[in-house]
Amino acid sequence: MKKDEPMSICPCAITIAMLSSKWKILILRELLKGTCRYRDLRERVFGVSQKMLTQSLKELEADGLVSRRIYPEVPPRVEYSLTDDGNSLRPVIQVLDDWGAHYVAEKDPDYVATRFNLDAPKNNWMKIPYNESL
Amino acid sequence: MKKDEPMSICPCAITIAMLSSKWKILILRELLKGTCRYRDLRERVFGVSQKMLTQSLKELEADGLVSRRIYPEVPPRVEYSLTDDGNSLRPVIQVLDDWGAHYVAEKDPDYVATRFNLDAPKNNWMKIPYNESL
DNA sequence: CGGCATCCCCTGAGATACTG
DNA sequence: CAGTATCTCAGGGGATGCCG
């Protein structure tokens, strides 16, 4: 790869960059099921802090994947849902899910456990309800 | 999500976690084309430092996606290639690539540029040869 | 209810120098 | 050629407290 060659941007790197902050995929996964209030996401995306949830939602909104609707009520109500672009991620997330499921199924469970700190009692990341399919 | 409910691990989060270190997807993308020497990867994965390349390859090998073959020669020769598991990522990366390409195509180029620091002269990340398809 | 503002810590990653 | 070994630093992300 010469330095003076014209370059372009790797599309798969773009996608990974957009999805790779710690909680985003779990948030998107939840929103794939349908519109959701902020507090619902806090409950369902197990382990996410309020700061990270807010921050992730903001970025997802800036990226055009999520839309935010505020109802002028007291107490306030805010609903999050996927945009068309967000929904277009469904097959992507599905493929990621399938590959991951196949990977863990064939791997040494101990390796997977240590690799992702599943043992640590404090670790809530990656957790989803048992037997929940995408 | 109750605290006492049995939990399982989100497969798509696993996949994202495995691919989301800064250079991995570009390395894998390169290895999808075929076996490669260390120095070839250094040239072709534009902008990767020698430390990050070594480190990423190590992790990919530990994850069982990449295999490393050393030839007992002087000077040494080391070739990297994808394992079967690594190759099974091809459709995954293809989907990521398609989605990313579609995303940037429809987005405001200025937004994309600022979002990913494409303007910064020092930024080499994400760069691939012009007109190179997956 | 749905956030912001702070403080703080740890790790991912860059830069540089050295080795079998 | 294909790596190690250090040092360094920015910023991702946790914890806590306050606000409209």
Subunit contact A7:B127, Cβ cutoff 8 A: yes
For the whole model, what pTM was predicted?
0.95
Per-residue confidence (pLDDT) for residue A6, from 0 to 100: 83
**What's the rounded Cα separation, in Å, for the pair A49 and B15?**
22
Select the residue from A25, A99, A110, A122 to test the B interface by mutation, using most B Cβ atoms within 10 A. Answer: A99
Q: Is B10 helix (H, G, I), strand (E, B) or coil?
A: coil
Confidence of residue B6 (pLDDT cuts 50, 70, 90): confident
**What's the rounded Cα separation, in Å, for the pair A72 and B87?**
51
Subunit contact B129:A8, Cβ cutoff 8 A: yes
Note the CA–C1' distance, B71 to D14, in angstroms.
Answer: 46
Does residue B39 reach within 7 angstroms of strand D, measured from its CB? yes
Q: What is the mean pLDDT of residues B100-129?
A: 95
Interhelix angle for B90-106 vs A11-19, to 10°? 90
CB-nearest to B93 from A7, A12, A100 is A12
Tell me the CA distances in angstroms from A53 to A17, A58, A116, B124, one per residue in order. 17, 9, 21, 30
Q: Do you know the residue count of chain A?
A: 134
Burial A51-80 (b: 16+ CB within 10 A, else e): ebbeebbeebeebbbbbeeeeeeeeeeeeb
The mean pLDDT of chain B is 95
Subunit contact A118:B25, Cβ cutoff 8 A: no
- pLDDT tens, chain A, 134 aa long: 555 668 999 999 999 999 999 999 999 999 999 999 999 999 999 999 999 999 999 999 999 999 999 999 999 999 999 999 999 999 999 999 999 999 999 999 999 999 999 999 889 999 999 999 99
B117 near A CB under 8 A:
no
Per-residue confidence (pLDDT) for residue B121, from 0 to 100: 87
**pLDDT tens per residue, range B19-31:** 999 999 999 999 9
Interhelix angle for A24-31 vs B11-19, to 10°? 150
Subunit contact A131:B8, Cβ cutoff 8 A: yes
CB-nearest to A96 from B16, B88, B126 is B16
* Nearest partner of A93 among A24, A6, A11, A29, judged by Cα: A29
**pLDDT tens per residue, range B31-80:** 999 999 999 999 999 999 999 999 999 999 999 999 999 999 999 999 99
**What's the rounded Cα separation, in Å, for the pair B36 and B46?**
15
CB-nearest to B103 from A6, A85, A96 is A85
Q: Looking at the predicted structure, is the pLDDT value of residue B5 above 90?
A: no
A116 near B CB under 8 A:
yes
Per-residue confidence (pLDDT) for residue A121, from 0 to 100: 87
Confidence of residue B3 (pLDDT cuts 50, 70, 90): low
Does residue A125 reach within 7 angstroms of strand D, measured from its CB? yes
Per-residue confidence (pLDDT) for residue B23, from 0 to 100: 98
Does residue A76 reach within 7 angstroms of strand D, measured from its CB? yes
Sign of the torsion angle spanned by Cα atoms A44, A45, A48, A54: negative
B127-129 and A7-9 as β-strands: parallel, antiparallel, unpaired?
Answer: antiparallel
Interhelix angle for B50-62 vs B24-31, to 10°? 70
Q: Is the link from the previous residue into A75 a cis peptide, with omega within 30 of 0?
A: yes
